[in-house]
Amino acid sequence: MHDSTVALIELGAIFFGLGILGRLAWKIGISPIPFYLLGGLAFGSGGLVPLEGITGFASIGSEIGVILLLLLLGLEYSAAELVTGLRRSWLAGVVDIVLNATPGVAVALVLGWGPVGALAMAGVTYISSSGIVAKVLGDLGRLGNRETPVVLSILVFEDLAMAVYLPILTAVLAGATLLGGLSAIGISLLVVTLVLLLALRFGRYVSAIVDSPDPEVFLLRVLGAALLVAGVASQLQVSAAVGAFLLGIAISGSTAENATRMLEPLRDLFAAMFFVVFGLNTNPSTIPPVLAIALGLAVVTAVTKLATGWWAAKRQGIASMGRARAGAALVARGEFSIVIAGLAVSAGAVDDSLAALATAYVLIMAILGPLAARFVEPVARLVRARLRPGLH
């Protein structure tokens, strides 16, 4: 068959299969991310039926998926909301970094992956999946709960931390010197601060540039602007994903709402392709050797996220049940952990087994997170009931 015919058949089979897997995932109440990763593992190198006809499209499609993930994340917040969230949650955010990045650093150093691997694994274990968290909170009817603003403020801090972390990681993966690394930190902080200031003062002008009453023109403008900004950011060694995130912050008001509504289906499509591509590039045979490590890391970082949410909610005077719900809501890891691992592995600066560990870890955490959020209340009540007789 002609190459394009093979590519069309393989893409059609992948998209249709992803649709079935996604439906199955939401039906049983978990994120579809683990299913997408498993699909990629099944059809990648070393999988059941390797697919080789979609390499070009899959590569660029996964890049667009990352850009759209970060763009829509930025669209969720205005610059004012980010600044307010940062003021409210900076201390909890620092605690979050210390508790949840440390296990990743420790594992990388023990496995001999060096400082670069440690930096990558710090991000993999640190960042919660805001997409999974938001979906779970909505499904469980907890968006109006008293502890939910605490959870959201921590997620906002994590998103801002990513805007600084990703350019640093990119510079380090590119082999930057110590001076170059310090320059990357300075540039990252300067760019983030500048964009926030511009968004606060001139966000309406950015929105006006991309806005249009015609849906087709509006979609082309927003998507085109995102890809342009991402490309320029990548050329400046700031990270394409961060460029898209900062553009999302700068777009506000009804323009941001319309952009989110129109881009969500595209984001879901290309994000699914991103997870599949990550799975395609990971040999399933590399996962069993790191599975025990992934399980141990999952247990430790589930506890550290629970501790983070508990402590942050306690500072706001929230009762013990609300503290438990806040901690459990933060447990899930997902898209951004895979983004970080993908950057590290594609740069060729870390051991290939990092991809296997990240895949196994996210598979576990993307399932464990929603389950923890769903069952934390019954478990907490059961523990309280069993402890109560001993208190009298």
> 18: number of CA atoms within 13 Å, CB side?
23
Query: For the chain, what are the domain ranges?
Result: 3-384
Distance CA 199, CA 179 (A): 30
Q: Which residue has the tokens 């501790």?
A: 307
CB 100 within 8 A of CB 308: yes
Q: Tokens representing 27?
A: 């039906």
The reported pLDDT for the residue numbered 391 is 46
The reported pLDDT for the residue numbered 392 is 46
The residues, any chain, with a CB within 8 Å of residue 28's CB and separated by 6 or more, are none
Amino acid code (one letter) for 118: A
Determine whether domain 3-384 maps to CATH 3.40.50.410. Answer: no
CA dihedral 194, 195, 201, 206 (to 10 degrees): 140
Average pLDDT for runs of 10 along the chain of length 392: 74 85 80 80 67 70 82 76 71 93 95 91 91 76 82 82 78 66 66 70 80 91 90 72 79 86 88 80 84 96 95 90 93 86 79 86 88 85 70 46
Amino acid code (one letter) for 6: V
